[in-house]
Amino acid sequence: MADVNIKINGRDFAVPAGSTILDACRLCGIRIPTLCFMREINEIGACRICMVEVKGARSLVAACVFPVNEGMEIFTNTPKVIESRKTTLKLILSTHNKTCLQCVRSGSCELQKLCQEYGIENEDEFAGAVPNTHVDDTAVHMIRDNSKCVLCRRCVAVCDKNQGCAVIGPNNRGFDTEIGCNFNLDLASVACISCGQCINVCPTGALHERDDTQKVFDAINDPEKIVLVQTAPSVRVGLGEEFGNPIGTIVTGKMVSAIRALGVDKVFDTNFAADLTIMEEATEFIRRYTQKDNLPMFTSCSPGWIKFIEYYHPDMLPHLSSCKSPQGMFGATAKTYYAQKIGVDPKNIYVVSVMPCSAKKFEAQRPEMSAAEGCPDIDVVLTVRELARMIRKAGIMFNELPDGEFDAPFGLGSGAGTIFGATGGVMEAALRTAYEVLTGEELKELEFTDVRGTQGIKEATYNIAGNEIKVAVCSGTANADKLVRMIKSGEKNYDFVEIMACPGGCVNGGGQPIQPAYVRNNVDIRAVRAAALYRDDENLPVRKSHENPDIKAVYAEFFGEPGGEKSEEILHTHYTPRTRYTVK
């Protein structure tokens, strides 16, 4: 595409034709503030924060939607522009709940940051009527507080365009407009899949995960409880951002030390349970493939995806793997094998999961996730953000901690378990094991690069022991919906399909650290975090799930064999169709 010549604040630049003013300025080193803008999914010019002056235009224009043209002269910081932005911020604040000291997003709120940048001193200049709002706390995983909503519609866009659910949108009109569910139902009554992607893109504290940190503090201080903490693969590549580290920094050792410093009894690695999942899932796939039973087989690691298929494609439930997620397998193993090993009543073992995922909170309370009678597999789930709050509250100086190590016997995870956090990782881990089981030969090249990358849908065909195995990898449930429909129609034919609810996989989960829209719009966070996990995999001594000595031990001592009677009873589960709307 040819360039056009423009002026920005009196300086000459050449930028790609068709660029918006927002992108043109960014390419020239000038940041224009935004609130509503999300690249590709919410380019609506609604918030009016990005207004700039264009020579010859009768009024200010919205930089996020206004295209550049040859000879255009743009002014980004004139008194008129600054006054416009300040007025808009004051108008937003006039109906905004300004209890910032009590807000979970204080310090990372995009509205708060803009007000600081523009020196908003008289926040009550336009004080007057305030819309009637309510707090929706019906969902297991999150809270919606519309008194803090700025109507940017970023949550609406991500729910519709990335996730294909569209369970939220603007209700009412004019001054009374608010974001809510269809028919004014609460979140617990609609087909929300608990993915938390809306939380990740919210610029304020209007959306946040349900905070369960006090439950963990209480358990730690209960002398009768043995508190076990498991951390998912993507936590080690996300947690550091909460303490000022660059995106993609692996902080495994400091994470373990910080959790141990909270006073828990044991810190274990969900990578171990990811390896356990591969042993069961690969075995299940080989059986299904051999018997041509309900193919393609879909992975079952992502609870947001599980909820999506229950709501939107219940007829495809027989195609789901019956394996519990790694979170569920860890909890089930802890409250059976480990409880027996240390001679403790499972009811006194308190399992805490630290996950990059808000849907794990929903998964934990599923009644079918209970291997030990009367005990849930998981007692409480914390997002990465909640863990960070606990660490700060306890006064732990994260970046100054020495590197710690996970405890035995669930402290060793393979590289295959590590890459579970990236889209394609589960598939690659399963193929590493399936190849060696089917061929009886050592796999020399461990990287299945065809299933790597952040594309929404990827597909590949592998010849393993004379078998042509067709696979697909998908992330984001809008893509999942598209893929499932193609499978149903016969347009696509696969044997094994990995699906993750969140675009890019768990590295971009709904419980990961919040990054402002400017970063999300200009940095592929998913790719940077995933690349770190792949580097971690390369540096680990064990890179195949079936070669993990701790996995071999737990089968030898307790489960017997993958897919056996005991593992089926403890490590597998079932799912049921769901009704999309529940009117009380």
CATH number, position 351: 3.40.50.1780
| Per-residue model confidence (pLDDT) at position 183 | 87
Helix (H) or strand (E) holding 220: helix 213-220
Question: Computed over its alpha carbons, how large is the radius of gyration of the chain?
Answer: 25
Residues 84 and 179 in one domain: no
Residues 232 and 193 in one domain: no
C-alpha span between 191 and 181 (Å, rounded): 10
Q: Which of 506, 544, 545, 567 is catalytic?
A: 506
Establish whether 368 is a catalytic residue.
yes
Residues 162 and 240 in one domain: no
Q: Which of 209, 280, 363, 386 is catalytic?
A: 363
DSSP letters along 354-408, please?
A: EES-SHHHHHHT-TT--SSTT--S-SEEEEHHHHHHHHHHTT--GGGPPP--PPS
CATH number, position 56: 3.10.20.740
| Per-residue model confidence (pLDDT) at position 558 | 97
Residues 301 and 161 in one domain: no
C-alpha dist (Å) from residue 26 to 3, 21, 328, 476, 515: 15, 8, 44, 28, 18
Domain that holds residue 486: 214-571
| Per-residue model confidence (pLDDT) at position 122 | 75
CATH number, position 156: 3.30.70.20
| Per-residue model confidence (pLDDT) at position 1 | 64
Closest by CA position to 302, among listed 421, 413, 142, 455: 421
Residues 188 and 259 in one domain: no
**Residue 584 resides in a domain:** no
C-alpha span between 9 and 75 (Å, rounded): 5
| Per-residue model confidence (pLDDT) at position 579 | 87
Residues 184 and 203 in one domain: yes
Q: Which of 110, 242, 280, 284 is catalytic?
A: 284
Closest by CA position to 194, among listed 97, 308, 110: 308
Establish whether 360 is a catalytic residue.
yes
Q: What is the pLDDT along the chain (584 residues), one digit of tens a residue?
A: 689 999 999 999 999 999 999 999 999 999 999 999 999 999 999 999 999 999 999 899 999 999 999 999 999 999 999 999 999 999 999 999 999 999 999 999 999 999 999 999 877 788 888 888 989 999 999 999 999 999 999 999 999 999 999 999 999 999 999 999 988 899 999 999 999 999 999 999 999 999 999 999 999 999 999 999 999 999 999 999 999 999 999 999 999 999 999 999 999 999 999 999 999 999 999 999 999 999 999 999 999 999 999 999 999 999 999 999 999 999 999 999 999 999 999 999 999 999 999 999 999 999 999 988 889 999 999 999 999 999 999 999 999 999 999 999 999 999 999 999 999 999 999 999 999 999 999 998 899 999 999 999 999 999 998 999 999 999 999 999 999 999 999 999 999 999 999 999 999 999 999 999 999 999 999 999 999 999 999 999 999 999 999 999 999 999 999 999 999 999 999 999 998 876 55
Residues 500 and 442 in one domain: yes
3-state SS of 54-74 is ECCCCCCEECCCCECCCCCEE
Residues 376 and 259 in one domain: yes
Q: Record the tokens describing residue 140, joined without a space.
A: 């297991």
C-alpha dist (Å) from residue 372 to 219, 278, 341, 376, 573: 19, 22, 14, 7, 13
Establish whether 281 is a catalytic residue.
yes
Q: Is the dihedral of CA 194, 526, 451, 548 positive or negative?
A: negative
Write b or e for each residue in 279-294: b if 16 or more Cβ atoms lie within 10 A of its Cβ, otherwise e: bbbbbbbbebbeeeee
Residues 204 and 218 in one domain: no
**Residue 169 resides in a domain:** yes
| Per-residue model confidence (pLDDT) at position 129 | 86
Q: Which of 301, 323, 375, 502 is catalytic?
A: 301
Q: Record the tokens describing residue 273, joined without a space.
A: 């349970």
Establish whether 547 is a catalytic residue.
no
Q: For 95, phi and psi rounded to 5 degrees?
A: -120, 15
Establish whether 284 is a catalytic residue.
yes
C-alpha span between 363 and 237 (Å, rounded): 22
CA angle, 364 then 390 then 510, to 5°: 50
Q: Record the tokens describing residue 282, joined without a space.
A: 């690969």
Residues 420 and 555 in one domain: yes
Q: Which amino acid is at 541?
A: P
Place of tokens 């020495």: 402
**Residue 76 resides in a domain:** yes
**Residue 424 resides in a domain:** yes
Q: Which of 281, 310, 386, 428 is catalytic?
A: 281
| Per-residue model confidence (pLDDT) at position 124 | 78
C-alpha span between 392 and 428 (Å, rounded): 36
Q: List % helix, strand, coil for the chain (3-state, nearest 5).
A: 40, 15, 40
Place of tokens 């309510």: 134
Q: Which of 84, 147, 234, 321 is catalytic?
A: 321
Residues 187 and 218 in one domain: no
**Residue 117 resides in a domain:** no
**Among residues 209, 225, 252, which one ends one of the domains?**
209
Domain count of the fold of the chain: 3
Q: Which amino acid is at 277?
A: T
**Residue 427 resides in a domain:** yes
**Residue 437 resides in a domain:** yes
Q: Record the tokens describing residue 498, joined without a space.
A: 């990995």
Torsion, Cα 85 88 94 98, to 10 degrees, reads: -50
C-alpha dist (Å) from residue 147 to 127, 252, 430, 514: 15, 38, 46, 20
| Per-residue model confidence (pLDDT) at position 374 | 84
Residues 293 and 174 in one domain: no
**Residue 98 resides in a domain:** no
Establish whether 321 is a catalytic residue.
yes
C-alpha dist (Å) from residue 511 to 128, 198, 265, 385: 36, 11, 24, 7
Establish whether 110 is a catalytic residue.
no
